[in-house]
């Protein structure tokens, strides 16, 4: 049976490339702001481009934090991409202004500490050897376009639940969180839909979990 995926339409610009990439990955995809459809789908993709504040405002308009929380409480898969990953953290700090995020992970998204910002183009990743997300593409490059990121990982587990798999990427003498696998919640700072064959394989890996 073909997995159904909703790409949450919260006004984050052109997300048609994500829709097409998921369709090529074998999913039945709908771009919609409907709370009920986002809750019912096998998978939910949360896109995001631009500013943390703008993306959070769009998500709040369509009750995005609530639908994300409801899905995760029931073990239903969610995938965040780019700023759609950043807003999963507690907060974002841009131009001295702090904005509250969805709070699924502790920590703050902040400006990259690198000589050249934005970070734009292809870069490597360093996934955990047991990563399901990066199966078959552990040594590939992915496409990034961003000026902000989570530069640390603060979530600690109690030892009774599996620890999240956190993937890092080096940039300009610093490093940042470029992907997370945390039970049903996956996210990437890069754009898999713009990352050629490697990104297509990663999306197939996610669709295969639905």
Res. 190 pLDDT band, cuts 50 70 90: very high
> Of these residues, 104, 110, 181, 193, which one is catalytic?
193
Catalytic residue status for 191: yes
102 an active-site residue? no
Distant-in-sequence, close-in-space partners of 126: CB < 8 Å, separation ≥ 6: 167, 168, 169, 170
Encode pLDDT of 127-179 as tens digits.
Answer: 988 899 999 999 999 999 999 999 999 887 766 677 899 999 999 999 999 99
pLDDT at 185 over 70: yes
Domain CATH number, residue 127: 3.40.50.880
- Rounded CA-CA distance 111/148 in Å is 4
The span from the CA of 33 to the CA of 118, in Å, is 29
Instruction: Read off the pLDDT of each residue in 193-207 and give the average, rounded to a whole number.
Output: 97
Selected catalytic residue, list 10, 119, 146, 191: 191
- The predicted pLDDT at position 162 comes to 76
Range of the domain at 161: 4-207
pTM of the model as a whole: 0.95
Q: How far are the Cα atoms of 69, 145, 162, 177, 189 from residue 170, in angstroms, in the given order?
A: 30, 14, 25, 9, 13
Q: What is the pLDDT of residue 159?
A: 64
DSSP 45-102: EE---S-HHHHHHHHHHTTHHHHHHHHHHTT--EEEETHHHHTTEEEEEETTEEEE--
63 is catalytic: no
* Catalytic residue selected from 82, 104, 110, 119: 82
- Of the candidates 115, 188, 190, 109, which has an alpha carbon nearest to the alpha carbon of residue 151? 109
Count structural domains, the chain: 1
Least confident of 79-83, 142-146, 162-166, 196-200: 162-166
């Amino acid at each position: 049976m073909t997995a159904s995926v909703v790409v949450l339409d919260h006004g984050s610009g052109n997300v048609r490339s994500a829709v097409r990439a998921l369709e090529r990955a074998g999913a039945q995809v709908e771009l919609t702001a409907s709370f009920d459809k986002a809750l019912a789908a096998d998978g939910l993709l949360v896109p995001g481009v631009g500013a943390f504040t703008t993306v959070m405002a769009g998500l709040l308009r369509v009750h995005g934090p609530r639908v994300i929380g409801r899905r995760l409480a029931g073990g239903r898969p969610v995938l965040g991409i780019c700023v759609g990953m950043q807003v999963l953290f507690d907060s974002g700090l841009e131009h001295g202004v702090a904005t509250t995020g969805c709070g699924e992970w502790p920590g703050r998204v902040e400006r990259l500490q690198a000589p050249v910002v934005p970070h734009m183009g292809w870069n490597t990743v360093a996934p955990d050897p047991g990563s399901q997300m990066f199966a078959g593409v552990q040594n590939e490059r992915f496409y990034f376009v961003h000026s902000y990121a989570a530069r640390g990982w603060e979530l600690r587990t109690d030892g009774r639940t599996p620890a999240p798999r956190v993937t890092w990427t080096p940039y300009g003498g610093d490093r940042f969180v470029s992907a997370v696998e945390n039970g049903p919640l996956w996210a990437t700072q890069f754009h898999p839909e713009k990352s050629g064959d490697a990104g297509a394989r990663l999306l197939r890996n996610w669709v295969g979990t639905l």
